[in-house]
């Protein structure tokens, strides 16, 4: 199983989105986080059912994003929330899920997420990325501090590519979240291979 975590954005996908999910799932990522927050809850639920079916067929863990009710209704085993939503949620709402994650931007936020019952957090953005144009990256020192502040796995996110993947791993990241790279690349299998080679670039 790869340490690469796919975070989806169907608007970045030039071809058929579900076909791309099939290609990604076939490469056995650590997980696929279905992050399509612009959809209504009903639309998201319908898409989630299709993506979860694909993931199940490949034995890939699927994490739904933001829509807790849809995640519970579809029987999802993973839920990812923005920290603000996590802190507002009742702890009973999180009980149905094996994995609960939150998006964090500081060591203090990561610690708060852990105290709230998260089983992992994402930390970013670590490197420069078009998704956060004009915002300075927080860097690997930030990532290392977050990793040291909690006992749960920390997934690095933001601008991660083959050239800098090893830096995030060396800082202590348990996984590397990738969005645009996996949504846009021409060859998904080659992308995973290149990211694995990033382990050696030191």
> Which residues fall within 8 angstroms of residue 164, CB to CB, at 6 or more apart?
127, 198
**What are the beta bridge partners of residue 122?**
103, 155
Give the pLDDT of the chain (202 residues) as one tens digit per residue. 799 999 999 999 989 999 999 999 999 999 999 999 999 999 999 999 999 999 999 999 999 999 999 999 999 999 999 999 999 999 889 999 999 999 999 999 999 999 999 999 999 999 987 676 667 889 999 999 999 999 999 999 999 999 999 999 999 999 999 999 999 999 999 999 999 876 654 4
**Distance in angstroms between the alpha carbons of the first and the last residue of the chain:** 22
> Which residues fall within 8 angstroms of residue 5, CB to CB, at 6 or more apart?
29, 30, 31, 32, 33, 155, 175, 176, 177, 178
Cα–Cα nearest to 126, from 109, 143, 114, 111: 143
Please tell me the pTM assigned to this model.
0.95
> Which residues fall within 8 angstroms of residue 175, CB to CB, at 6 or more apart?
3, 4, 5, 30, 31, 120, 153, 155, 156
DSSP letter string, 87-147: HHS-HHHHTT-SEEEEEESSHHHHHHHHHTT-SEEEE---S--GGGTTSPP-HHHHHHHHH
Give me the phi and psi of 52, to 5 degrees please.
-65, -35
What pLDDT score does 201 carry? 47
What pLDDT score does 83 carry? 97
Contact 94, 100 (CB under 8 A): yes
With residue 32 as reference, give the H or E element that holds it. strand 31-34
What pLDDT score does 133 carry? 62
With residue 148 as reference, give the H or E element that holds it. helix 139-149
What pLDDT score does 132 carry? 61
Contact 121, 102 (CB under 8 A): yes
């Amino acid at each position: 199983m790869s340490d690469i975590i796919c975070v989806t954005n169907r608007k970045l996908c030039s071809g058929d989105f579900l076909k791309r999910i099939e290609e990604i799932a076939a490469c056995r990522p650590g997980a696929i986080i279905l992050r399509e927050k612009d959809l209504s809850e009903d639309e998201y639920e319908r898409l989630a059912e299709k993506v979860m079916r694909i993931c199940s067929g490949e034995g890939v863990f699927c994490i739904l994003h933001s829509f807790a009710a849809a995640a519970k209704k579809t029987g999802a085993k993973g839920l990812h929330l923005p920290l603000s939503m996590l802190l507002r949620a009742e702890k009973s709402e999180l009980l149905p899920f094996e994995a609960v994650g939150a998006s964090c931007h500081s060591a203090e936020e990561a610690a708060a997420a852990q105290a709230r019952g998260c089983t992992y957090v994402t930390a970013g953005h670590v490197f420069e990325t078009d998704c956060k144009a004009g915002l300075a990256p927080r860097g690997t020192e930030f990532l290392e501090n977050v990793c040291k502040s909690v006992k749960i796995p920390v997934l690095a996110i933001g601008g991660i590519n083959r050239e800098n993947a090893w830096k995030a791993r060396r800082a202590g990241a348990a996984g590397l979240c990738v969005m645009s790279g996996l949504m846009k690349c021409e060859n998904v299998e080659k992308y995973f291979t290149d990211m694995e080679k990033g382990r050696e670039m030191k």
